[in-house]
Amino acid sequence: MSPQTVGIIGFIVMVTMIFLRIPVAIALGLVGTVGYAALNGWTQAALVLGRVPFTFASAYDLSVVPLFVLMGSIARHSGMARELFQSINVMFSGRRGTLATATIGACAALGSVSGSSVAMVATMSHVAVPEMRRAKYDERLALGSVVAGGTLGILFPPSVMLIFYGLTAVQSIPKLFAAGFIPGLILAALQILVVKTAIWLYPDWAPVSPRAPWRVRLQASAGMWKLLCIFVLSIGGIYAGWFSPTEAAAIGTFSTIVIATLSGSMTFGKLVEATIESGRTAAMLFFILLGAIMFSYFIVQTQIASNLAAWVVSLHLPPTAVMVVVVFFYIVLGSFLESLTMILITVPVFAPLAQGLGYDLIWFGIILVGLIEVGMIHPPMGMNLFVLQSQVPDARLGKLYIGSAMFLVANAVLIVLLLAFPQIALWLPRHLY
């Protein structure tokens, strides 16, 4: 049996195991080990498996993951999300649909401290949904704005997904962070446009909020200083050359703790809770990474990625046509697979393909994260939909699906813009480096 055949069988078995509820980490690790043994013998496979955990002992850059997870967790536990939502709501008061706009604005701003989409939806569903329900917002708009806004967390720096993409595709994390910034702003603007269009078509979906005086609005804008400080310190520091992304994660987390404590919103109990929760999340993510490393060793041995890239190049298809097929592939895959799993199992195959076609892998990372966002709000299997359902158990499924489908237009436009104008993602990193 050729290595390619073993690879294809391994891939099918691994996906089947994942769909049959085998934990992703276990499926990746077991198939990776058995597949590696099938190609190189058991002794070699056992040797490689035994040394995989040591990857974490020699990967200083990986420390960025638990630290950024902790930063987001502290921001949530200290009530920064609620404060930010209320500030934006007051600042833009007097218009129709302010609460939905504030939800997206708060998600965009919170994205600068929390790199997790799931955590963002969980937080905002408690903060924004009750407020919008009280104000008699239509459920479609209320639920849709929360699930869609949540996706902004993985495009704005620091994004856990971009970090994992960077580690898997061996790309610069600061460049990826910079590349995600403008698409993140565009997506936020597009989502606000969806809100505005929806309430223009159906004015009864969102009432006009009472107008706050300018003095109150200015006071409310001061409520954003915490996040601004954290963002300027942690992300700004990377580009100012003060410290590396790993150090930025530590500085950002530390400053979040200090600011939350000084403003009286952080207790010792909450800090302990946030730290334990972050350690657990990091362990969960790294255990998947452990399985994925073993699986990627196996995939490298099969030479599937290089053969696929060579085959596609030999077809002499226009690169854009190939990329459109890749985009559709990811949209379908995103309907079934969890985002991190999608990155870890597909990047070893598709990144060499994209590179072979002459695409910049920084741009490809942003396209990939954009597609993951589609998968997260894509009915019926989007992860953000499940999270919102679990946090708001009385949310009507039909309304949730319509609400999220409405916002998919914004994501689709972003993908088209990125395909047509790669500079949207590449301008800032090229300008900064």
Partner 1 sequence: MKAVFASISRCATYASALFLVAMMMITVADVVLRAIFNLPITGTYDLVQLFLVGTVFLSIPDVFLRDRNIVIDFVDHVFGQRAIGLLKLIANVFAVAFLGLLIWRMVPPARDALNFHEVSPDLSIPMWVHWALMLIGIGLTLPAAVLMLIQSALDFSHPQVIPPQQADL
Question: Which range binds partner 1 by CB under 8 A, 25-33, 96-104, 135-143, 220-228?
Answer: 25-33
Asked if 272 touches partner 1 (CB under 8 A), the answer is yes
Asked if 151 touches partner 1 (CB under 8 A), the answer is no
Nearer to partner 1, 386 or 427 (CB): 386
Pair 153, 111: CB distance under 8 Å: yes
Write down the least CB distance from residue 191 to partner 1, Å: 22
Write down the least CB distance from residue 402 to partner 1, Å: 19
Nearer to partner 1, 76 or 91 (CB): 76
Nearest to 11 by CA among 346, 354, 369, 356: 346
Write down the least CB distance from residue 228 to partner 1, Å: 20
Question: Which range binds partner 1 by CB under 8 A, 91-99, 174-182, 275-283, 397-405?
Answer: 275-283
Asked if 350 touches partner 1 (CB under 8 A), the answer is no
Question: Which range binds partner 1 by CB under 8 A, 195-203, 281-289, 317-325, 365-373?
Answer: 281-289
Tell me the three-class secondary structure of the chain, residue by residue. CCHHHHHHHHHHHHHHHHHCCCCHHHHHHHHHHHHHHHHHCHHHHHHHHHHHHHHHHCCHHHHHHHHHHHHHHHHHHCCHHHHHHHHHHHHCCCCECHHHHHHHHHHHHHCCCCCCHHHHHHHHHHHHHHHHHHCCCCHHHHHHHHHHHHHHHHCCCCCHHHHHHHHHHCCCHHHHHHHHHHHHHHHHHHHHHHHHHHHHHCHHHCCECCCCCHHHHHHHHHHHHHHHHHHHHHHHHHHCCCCCHHHHHHHHHHHHHHHHHHCCCCCHHHHHHHHHHHHHHHHHHHHHHHHHHHHHHHHHHHCHHHHHHHHHHHCCCCHHHHHHHHHHHHHHHHCCCCHHHHHHHHHHHHHHHHHHCCCCHHHHHHHHHHHHHHHHHCCCCCHHHHHHHHHCCCCCHHHHHHHHHHHHHHHHHHHHHHHHCCHHHHHHHHHHC
Pair 203, 96: CB distance under 8 Å: yes
Q: Is 420 exposed, middle or buried (0-12, 13-18, 19+ CB in 10 A)?
A: exposed
Site for partner 1 in 66-85 (CB under 8 A): 66-67, 70
Question: Which range binds partner 1 by CB under 8 A, 132-140, 153-161, 167-175, 385-393?
Answer: 385-393
Asked if 40 touches partner 1 (CB under 8 A), the answer is no
The torsion of the CA quartet 345, 347, 349, 353, rounded to 10 degrees, works out to 160
Q: Which of 88, 119, 182, 351 binds partner 1 (CB under 8 A)?
A: 119
Pair 338, 24: CB distance under 8 Å: yes
Asked if 53 touches partner 1 (CB under 8 A), the answer is yes
Q: Which of 6, 14, 49, 162 binds partner 1 (CB under 8 A)?
A: 49
- Cα distance between residue 378 and residue 409, in whole Å: 11
Asked if 167 touches partner 1 (CB under 8 A), the answer is no
Q: Give the number of residues in contact with partner 1, rule: CB under 8 A.
A: 67
Site for partner 1 in 306-325 (CB under 8 A): none
Q: Which of 79, 207, 236, 279 binds partner 1 (CB under 8 A)?
A: 279
Write down the least CB distance from residue 145 to partner 1, Å: 19
Asked if 347 touches partner 1 (CB under 8 A), the answer is no
Site for partner 1 in 230-269 (CB under 8 A): 242-243, 246-247, 249-251, 253-254
Residue 122 in tokens: 């969980």
Per-residue CA distances from 65 to 36, 238, 420 (Å): 28, 16, 32
Asked if 432 touches partner 1 (CB under 8 A), the answer is no
Asked if 415 touches partner 1 (CB under 8 A), the answer is no
Q: Which of 6, 14, 24, 167 binds partner 1 (CB under 8 A)?
A: 24
Question: Which range binds partner 1 by CB under 8 A, 50-58, 309-317, 351-359, 366-374?
Answer: 50-58
Asked if 379 touches partner 1 (CB under 8 A), the answer is no
Q: Which of 138, 139, 338, 360 binds partner 1 (CB under 8 A)?
A: 338
Q: Which of 195, 282, 372, 395 binds partner 1 (CB under 8 A)?
A: 282
Q: Which of 308, 313, 333, 381 binds partner 1 (CB under 8 A)?
A: 381
Nearer to partner 1, 271 or 428 (CB): 271
List of residues contacting partner 1 (CB under 8 A): 17-27, 29-30, 33, 46-47, 49-51, 53-54, 56-60, 62-63, 66-67, 70, 118-119, 122, 242-243, 246-247, 249-251, 253-254, 272, 275-284, 286-288, 336-338, 340-341, 381, 386-387, 390-391
